[in-house]
A and B are shown apart, each in its own frame.
Chain A
Amino acid sequence: MKPFEYAKATAHADATAQAANNATFIAGGTNLLDLMKLEVMAPGKLVDINRLDLSEISQTDDGGLRIGALVTNSDCAADKRIRDDYPVLSRAILAGASGQLRNKATTGGNLCQRTRCYYFYDTAMPCNKREPGSGCQAMEGFNRIHAILGASDACIATYPGDMAVAMTALHAQVEIEDKSGDIRHVPVREFHLLPGDHPEKDNILEPGDLITAVILPPPVEGKQIYQKVRDRASYAFALCSVAAIVKMDGDTIASVALAFGGLAHKPWCDEAVEELLVGQQPSAELFGKAADLLLAEAQGYGSNDFKVPLTRRVLISVLKKATQTGAAS
């Protein structure tokens, strides 16, 4: 761990000003500290934001929820309003990490968690994300957990989280306060970036930007499913996960929102797939087409080739369950 300065932020402005000046926020620290010990990240200064007033879940004027950036994953998943109205989010969070980690992990930190690419974690390895221009050792190496969608020649890493996948399906917004105190809202769908030529940049945050909350729109009707496929029953990242919110109108699909984890540098969503499904009657053929469309551009890199057929199977199965009328969600 490189020696660093440490300061506690007392107010938002204080936090953003320091961050604009090269400091890094620390929230739960469950991701950042691990990376600092290995010197994958070596910030010169940490700003501890845990004292800021961002630990509340409150109702918004339009009937949605505002989840403060410091609400822990445990508290968020256990919140009655979230369990009742946004079960896909509760389930996604509970499918992640371990009880101990979730007690510490925060909503803002979880959104910003970095990839688990093995080569990113090992400072002896070339990695464009850690050291732009050094190369990507995963591309021709062991890449079981890597991306099949939206990767670039520079980086094939995935965003590893679960929470943001559910938030993507829910059309949530990230509330961000910048160094001048201005607040903007960015859809979670647009928050994470594809690697392109700049894999060092995970998301749209600029220096000084503080995530203050995630805003959930008013509850939507329909069945909500989160299915996470992983190498062991718990405490493993998603090889593939699907968040689905599907509303039926009689025997046709009235609306559908889908998001995928473990496949790309961001929670993946594909509006064309959603459009294909809306207004149709569920059938094996339809679901097969949806999977074909989703995976048309999918590419494996060797050890992760299996993710293509896996995602296909999981999507079809989730759609079947989500469109079954009658049964409870």
Chain B
Amino acid sequence: MNAHRKMDKPDTRNRLDDMSQGLVGTAMDRPDGPLKVSGQATYAHEWEVPDMVHGVLVRATISKGRVTDVASDEILADDAIHAVITDDRLLRRPAQGGANEAPPQGSKQVDYFGQPIALVVADTFEQARHAANNLKIGYETEGNAAFDPEAAATETDKPEDDQLDQGDLDQAMRNAAFTVDQVYRTPGHNSAAMEPHCAIASWEGDKLTLRGSYQMLNFNINELADALHISADNIRMLSPFVGGGFGSKLGLSPEAVAAAIAAKEIGLPVCVTLSRQQVFETTMRRSETHQHVRLSCGEDGVLTGLGHECLVSNLPGEEFYEPVTQATHFLYGGKNRKLGIEVARLNRTCGGSVRAPGEAVGMQVLENAMDELAEAAGIDPVELRKRNIPEQHPEKDIPYSSRRFTEALDEGAKRFGWDKRNAKPGNLREGDWLIGHGMAGAARINILSEAKAKVTLLANGSAVVETDMTDIGTGTYAILTQIACDMLGLPADKVETKLGDTDFPAGPGSGGSWGASSSGSAVFLACEEIRRKLADKLGSDERDLELADGKAGTGEPAQSLAVILDGEEISAIGHIEPGKTLEDWQQATYGSYFAEVAVNAITGETRVKRMLGVFGAGRILNEKTATSQCYGGMIWGIGSALTEELAFDNRDGHIVNHDLAEYHIPVNLDVPQIEVVLLKERDEFASPIQAKGIGELGICGAAAAVTNAIYNATGIRVRDYPATLDKLLEGLPDQQQ
């Protein structure tokens, strides 16, 4: 049975509010939590597959050119080495999220330093790693590689459909009472998920089973099929647990194809796991950005012009580019607008989606510029933002769906005690520490993705939810269980959610924050269908059906489901598709951040003392997992502000700090107690469950609150992220006094 809905109209019924089981929205513990904390959740590398051998990818040590020779014979002399794979089907880089087809393949051409060019397979991981380290490769290098996005010689292009020139920004700037005209830079990032990428391939005849760590199995299976030149019908992918993704596991990555080819060739299951260094070198990086922001406003602080022109980078031929201006298009008004993206073509690790592509870096910078404008205009930064929230979309003639931006700003200011802050920069000192306060707005587009899920109400009155949707630590197991529980009137222990198996109906995959609302809607629709069947059995109308604690009835739940089902089971597949509401309304999530920092007046070291985030993201499905997502985003915001940076060597484009000792993400001591407030909201345009995405919202602008606070503490604007101490030293107070 199929229950299909295309989201062409808003769903104003808010049905989940009427369900008496009442689990949706609560801080229910993750059903998978006990497994995870007791080491029983099986992550990709942990599967015990009989007779399995191990493969290690070999990295290119040139930046551009061709592999002319692989001295396989030398290492194959060792009995422990099974094979050296240099197949034309090996992936040179991961697929972009949602590619649905193989990315560039072939092991001969080298596009960037660190690119996989071969796979060495041995009895043990250690043997394979040693042999891979020592495999001699001959190269023919090409001298015209490009490594510096800003170098004059670097080729660039402009994606046509991401350039806006509306009105006359130059004139608006000339005529304005106050302006900001600044260049900001943000560095590249790597997701560096806790679980490194891994794939275990095993074949039975023509059938391939691939256990791996991937975010979007619905696409990954087609990418794998395309890469191997086989039919997706012959593949089963399993990713029941994923130890973090952040975009790096959206598209299929090289280890999967390498494992599958090797396993076929040697007739044994093969496990390929990336080292931490390989995760940095071969999985998607967030592009560094160069952002030129221009703002103009009148005496009243109302924007008359807004410019946001950005330079990002990627490998030649890649269509993906960091969509830096994504939220700039709709967040604030201003008639005269110039927004654009230019892509520098570099021989560096592939650029792709990393948590909140676009807004993570775009909002970070836009919100710095707004802080500068507030200062220039002498208007409180919270007030300035409120004055610039447009009625209608400033570029298209469409309205907004629900938007709790003003409330987030007001609520945040109130809770943080914003009115008590010292507005004059560099004016508050405690011992060696300069204290400052800063705020920023948050915004992230909302996306609904096509999704299917199957729900089966078993004869015994319990239910099973099945979809190939993944849980990458986000809480999918919890929220799908909660939705099914409420819709079918079951307690949490009566619903089992099964994920991450391509034998189940195709979900939306985990990405772009669409996972919860999309897969949740599919489960909701399937449950509605089951409710209709139940109502038929009771001879009543579905709308009058009351379900709770495993009982059903009209008016009041009286009969046990098992009795009503009488040995039968009912199953339905829910199928949601995005529709007109996504085009005809601007859908997004909003919020605000407030931060207090202390900057050491001697050394320039910055410590965040407290941080608050207030967010409106539609219906919150699980308060605990939603809050955790916001924590994670804000912590990454602290890292983006203060420490995180992919350091490239511009002589060969290699990543210099490719491990977690030198790629500095925040550690516990860098993170203060963070407060997250989730506003009550229902967005009927977003999904049948009125939920929007929340996974990425917490990072979109978070770093700006920290750097704005640094400015307030010191009077120093760091426009070149991250705000490491060396960038503050010069502006710190003189020591002699």
Q: CB within 8 A of A142: which of B656, B664, B724?
A: B656
List CB contacts (< 8 Å) of B37-75 with chain A: 59, 61
B668 on interface, CB distance cutoff 8 Å: yes
CB within 8 Å for A124 and B59 given contacts A116-B661, A229-B605, A231-B724: yes
B725 on interface, CB distance cutoff 8 Å: yes
A306 on interface, CB distance cutoff 8 Å: yes
B669 on interface, CB distance cutoff 8 Å: yes
**A233 with B133: CB separation less than 8 A:** no
Q: How far does the alpha carbon of A121 sit from the alpha carbon of B663 in the complex, in Å?
A: 14
User: Of all chain B residues, which has the CB nearest A160?
Assistant: B661
B92 on interface, CB distance cutoff 8 Å: no
A22 on interface, CB distance cutoff 8 Å: no
Chain B residues positioned under 8 Å from A314 (CB to CB) = 602-603
Chain B residues positioned under 8 Å from A83 (CB to CB) = none
Q: How far does the alpha carbon of A77 sit from the alpha carbon of B277 in the complex, in Å?
A: 32
Chain B residues positioned under 8 Å from A239 (CB to CB) = 725
Q: How far does the alpha carbon of A116 sit from the alpha carbon of B726 in the complex, in Å?
A: 19
A123 on interface, CB distance cutoff 8 Å: yes
Among the listed stretches B305-313, B460-468, B504-512, B641-649, which one makes contact with chain A, having 4 or more residues with CB under 8 Å of it? B641-649
**B725 with A236: CB separation less than 8 A:** no
Q: How far does the alpha carbon of A230 sit from the alpha carbon of B658 in the complex, in Å?
A: 18
B396 on interface, CB distance cutoff 8 Å: no
Chain B residues positioned under 8 Å from A229 (CB to CB) = 603, 605, 725
User: Of all chain B residues, which has the CB nearest A288?
Assistant: B736
B729 on interface, CB distance cutoff 8 Å: yes
**A236 with B729: CB separation less than 8 A:** no
Q: How far does the alpha carbon of A119 sit from the alpha carbon of B277 in the complex, in Å?
A: 13
Q: How far does the alpha carbon of A23 sit from the alpha carbon of B148 in the complex, in Å?
A: 44
Q: How far does the alpha carbon of A160 sit from the alpha carbon of B347 in the complex, in Å?
A: 32
**B669 with A118: CB separation less than 8 A:** no
CB of A84, distance to nearest CB on chain B (Å): 25
Q: How far does the alpha carbon of A2 sit from the alpha carbon of B129 in the complex, in Å?
A: 9
**B126 with A1: CB separation less than 8 A:** yes
User: Of all chain B residues, which has the CB nearest A39?
Assistant: B133
B651 on interface, CB distance cutoff 8 Å: yes
Q: How far does the alpha carbon of A43 sit from the alpha carbon of B735 in the complex, in Å?
A: 49
Chain B residues positioned under 8 Å from A142 (CB to CB) = 647-649, 656-657
User: Of all chain A residues, which has the CB nearest B603?
Assistant: A229
CB of A305, distance to nearest CB on chain B (Å): 8
A6 on interface, CB distance cutoff 8 Å: no
**A310 with B605: CB separation less than 8 A:** no
**B657 with A316: CB separation less than 8 A:** no
Chain B residues positioned under 8 Å from A236 (CB to CB) = 664
B204 on interface, CB distance cutoff 8 Å: no
**A313 with B729: CB separation less than 8 A:** yes
Q: CB within 8 A of B602: which of A1, A232, A317?
A: A317
Q: CB within 8 A of A313: which of B602, B662, B667?
A: B602
Main secondary structure of the interface of B (DSSP, over half): loop
CB of A313, distance to nearest CB on chain B (Å): 5
- B116-142 vs A, CB cutoff 8 Å, 1 = contact: the mask equals 000000000010011001100000000
Q: How far does the alpha carbon of A237 sit from the alpha carbon of B660 in the complex, in Å?
A: 12
B670 on interface, CB distance cutoff 8 Å: yes
CB of A275, distance to nearest CB on chain B (Å): 23
User: Of all chain B residues, which has the CB nearest A123?
Assistant: B133
Q: How far does the alpha carbon of A235 sit from the alpha carbon of B647 in the complex, in Å?
A: 19
Chain A residues positioned under 8 Å from B670 (CB to CB) = 232-234
Interface centre among B126, B432, B602 (most CB of A within 10 A): B602
Q: CB within 8 A of A310: which of B130, B664, B667, B725?
A: B725
Chain A residues positioned under 8 Å from B661 (CB to CB) = 116, 237
Chain B residues positioned under 8 Å from A1 (CB to CB) = 126, 129-130
B607 on interface, CB distance cutoff 8 Å: yes
Chain A residues proximal to chain B, CB less than 8 Å:
1-3, 37-39, 98, 116, 118-119, 121-124, 137, 140-142, 144-145, 229-237, 239, 284, 288, 306, 309-310, 313-314, 316-317
Chain B residues proximal to chain A, CB less than 8 Å:
59, 61, 126, 129-130, 133-134, 277, 432, 602-605, 607, 642-643, 647-649, 651, 654, 656-659, 661-662, 664, 666-670, 724-726, 729-730, 732, 735-736
Closest 3 CB pairs of A and B: A306-B726, A233-B669, A124-B61
27 intermolecular pairs with C-beta atoms under 8 Å apart: A1-B126, A1-B129, A1-B130, A3-B130, A119-B656, A121-B659, A122-B654, A123-B133, A137-B649, A141-B649, A229-B605, A230-B605, A231-B643, A231-B724, A231-B725, A232-B642, A232-B643, A232-B669, A232-B670, A233-B605, A284-B736, A288-B736, A309-B729, A310-B726, A313-B602, A316-B735, A317-B735
